[in-house]
Structure 1
Amino acid sequence: MPSTPPALIAVVGPVEPPLLAAWARHYRWLGVERFLIAFHLPDHVPDRQRHELQAAARELGIIPTGTSTSTGPWHEHTNTQLRDALRHRAGPGWHLLADADEFQQYPAPLNEVIAQADKSGHRVVGGLMLDRVAASGRLTGWRPEGGLDLAYPLGGHLTHRLLHGDPRKIVLARHDVTVSSGNHRSPGHRPDADRICAVHHFKWRSGVLDDLRRRVQHFTTGTWQEHTPAVRDEAGRLLAHVGQHGGVINTSDPRFAFRRASLDRMPFSWPSEARNIFTTWRPHAHSGQD
């Protein structure tokens, strides 16, 4: 009996409407039929941008859940609270968890991935971030007609090897399974390390440096509340890196293992590469994670 497609759960920030459209198309192509999203926009986002995002969602046939858009500080707990409210509304079954800049890529059709997890008794499915960047390392914009693969053709391991962030993701979870902040872990549940999906992470676009500077400022001053300094520290590391490399990400640094990547096919040798990182990654000494 075929499994019911998972409900997609996402808290969406001030992304550009073409990214939201590409994201929705990607997950519909994977087989998702239900989108439960909530917009949360920090105070600096102008009303015009808020209205454009709401209009874009309507054009995509996605109606934001609850209050269509909330505004205000992006405390570290904000995303988790909104996400869990969406999960409660989604009800029983499997939930697919994805930020608006995360495009998941599975080693098999989504219904088969879920059927395999059910068969093996796994209540979560894991993913690993593959950071996508421009060939030049510049944090550029992109043209919708060209697509994300053309604009950001390289994939590598920036999140954990430069930022010391957790690259692990819980991409699918049963409705009654608790997932930690940022969808990085599920206490008491371990994904099958031999079936890790690639989470193509299109964060490193035009405008992200301003976002990171704002994040550091607000968390440092206490305007936005944080549980640990991990998020602020990660932003600071990226800002320091591009400051040392003329405003770009150094794509030739062998630590990051940048290579050509595509949403059409899994990276070469991904299962063993992902398994190794997923099972050996440990938090940085000052990240405050467990």
Structure 2
Amino acid sequence: MPIPPLIAVIGPVEPDLLTTFVGHYRAHGVQQFLLAFHFPDHLGTDERVQLLDTCGALDISPALVTVGPWHEHTNTRLRDELRDLAGPGWHLLADADEFHTYPNGLTDTLNEAASAGIGTVGGLMLDRIAIDGQLLPWTPRQGLDRAYPLGGFLTHYLLRGDPRKIVLAHSTVPVASGNHRAPGHRPANRPPVVVHHFKWRHGVDTYLQQRVTHLAEGSWHSSSPALLRESRRLLDHLARHGGHIAVDSPALRLRPVTLDALPDWWAQEAAHIIDTWRPPSQNEPTGTVSSPSPSGTSNRA
């Protein structure tokens, strides 16, 4: 089975991250990249040009480029336009800060999914954090693994967000916002694909504060209050810990990981999260952190 095209909506990321992102998936055998760029209004022209020039230097022509407010439906609309351009067959779905590791290899994963007839392959976000919890910049020479050597389930335990991802979907399968679900097509692959999530870099706190401001005042739109709540949880956590992520918190379960090795604890813990994840209660306090106890129930910290 041929390696599918990669579908990604790219925001105002560092050009070096885009270069590393493309290199990571080319190493997986991806040859076709269908990329849409969406730039918020406030982003300077020079930053837009630099990112698009980087794309061109990678021998990729952007499929779509838009400028304007970021609404939750913006990425979904652009992603679906890209999927239409990709045409029939399988599609690989990833954000620019998501680097997949396939436990059984991409080709075997695709063949198994095609045989299963479900039309999806699932992953789970493994959030990558700096060793001291700072929101640090990085350089290509340093590399992402060295800059952010810890991995854990920050999105799940702290933000109470949906950590599940649809990483591969057949063109006949609609995928929900954020690539979190494909209604009626629940992935069956075990273990799930590791989605190394390099979101917690320098500048993410500023971006999340902008998101909170725009969502709260209504200039950016979302279909539910979840995005606003998740952003506030992270900002509140940073405020309580001096601008750092609390890497020593047992509730966050952060451990050393790398892109090229599957953690020995991955299969069991990831399956448990996928099987038990539920949206948080509307009344759950913002500062609540949920983590599994040794018995498999949840603790609050």
Q: Is TM > 0.5 for Structure 1 vs Structure 2?
A: yes
Supply the distance in 2 between the matched residues of 1:195 and 1:226 (Cα, whole angstroms): 31
Identity over aligned pairs, percent = 53
Q: Is 115-124 or 41-50 further displaced after alignment? A: 115-124
1:39 deviates by 0.3
Q: CA deviation at 1:31?
A: 1.1
Counterparts of 1:120 and 1:269, CA distance in 2: 25
Deviations 1:144-163 (A, max 9, x none): 11100000000011001000
**2:36 matched residue in structure 1:** 38
Distance 1:10 1:218 in 2: 24
Matches within 5 A, 1:87-98: 87-98=83-94
TM-superposed CA distance for 1:195, in Å, is 3.2
Q: Which runs of 5+ in 1 are unaligned?
A: none
Query: For the residues of structure 2 that align with 1:242 and 1:272, how far apart are their CA atoms?
Result: 29
Give the letter for the 2:130 counterpart.
A
Residue in 1 aligned with 2:296?
none
**Structure 1 residues 125-134 or 103-112, which shifts more?**
103-112
**Deviations for 1:209-263, whole angstroms, at most 9, x for unmatched residues?**
0000000000000001111110011000000001000110001111111000100
TM-fit CA distance, 1:193: 4.6
Give the structure-2-normalised TM-score. 0.92
Corresponding residue for 2:173?
177
Specify which of 160, 181, 184 is matched with residue 188 of structure 1.
184
Query: Offset of 1:269 from its aligned partner?
Result: 2.3
2:156 maps to 1:160: yes
2:293 paired residue number: none
Contact 1:42–1:74 (Cα < 8 Å) also in 2? yes
Q: 2:7 aligns to what?
A: 9
Amino acid at match of 1:54: L
Cα RMSD, aligned residues only: 1.0
Find the aligned partners of 1:217 and 1:235 in 2 and give their Cα distance. 10
The separation in 1 between residues aligned to 2:244 and 2:270, in whole angstroms, is 26
Q: Quick one: distance in 1 between partners of 2:191 and 2:203?
A: 34
Q: Which residue does the alignment assign to 2:48?
A: 50
Distance 1:22 1:140 in 2: 17
User: Which deviates more, 185-194 or 10-19?
Assistant: 185-194
2:147 partner letter: A
Distance 2:44 2:116 in 1: 48
Q: TM-score, normalised by structure 1?
A: 0.96
**Contact between 1:93 and 1:174, CA under 8 Å: does it hold in 2?**
yes
Corresponding position of 1:140: 136
Find the counterpart in structure 2 of residue 114 from structure 1.
110
CA contact (8 A) 1:162 1:238 kept: yes
Within 5 Å, give how 1:1-290 maps onto structure 2: 3-66=1-64, 69-286=65-282
1:91 and 1:212 map into 2 onto residues whose CA distance is 34
Aligned partners of 1:193 and 1:275 also within 8 Å: no
Moved more, 12-21 or 272-281: 272-281
Q: Which moved more, 1:269-278 or 1:124-133?
A: 269-278
Residue 299 of structure 2: aligned partner: none
Equivalent residue letter for 1:27: Y
Matched length:
283
Contact 1:193 1:279 in 2 (8 A): no
In structure 2, distance between residues paired with 1:141 and 1:187: 37
Q: Which moved more, 1:118-127 or 1:164-173?
A: 118-127
For 2:222 and 2:187, locate their aligned partners in 1 and report how far apart those are by CA, in whole Å. Answer: 27
The corresponding residue for 2:289 is none
Segment of structure 1 superposing worse, 136-145 or 118-127: 118-127
Q: How many angstroms apart in 2 are the aligned matches of 1:116 and 1:160?
A: 27
AA partner of residue 51 (structure 1): V
User: Which secondary structure state, in structure 1, belongs to the residue aligned with residue 251 of structure 2?
Assistant: helix
| Contact 1:37–1:64 (8 Å) recurs in 2 | yes
**Contact 2:113 2:189 (8 Å CA) reproduced:** no
Q: Distance in 2 between matches of 1:194 and 1:12?
A: 29
**1:8 touches 1:95 (CA, 8 Å); kept in 2?**
yes
Contact preservation (8 Å) 2:113, 2:121: yes
Contact 2:173 2:182 in 1 (8 A): yes
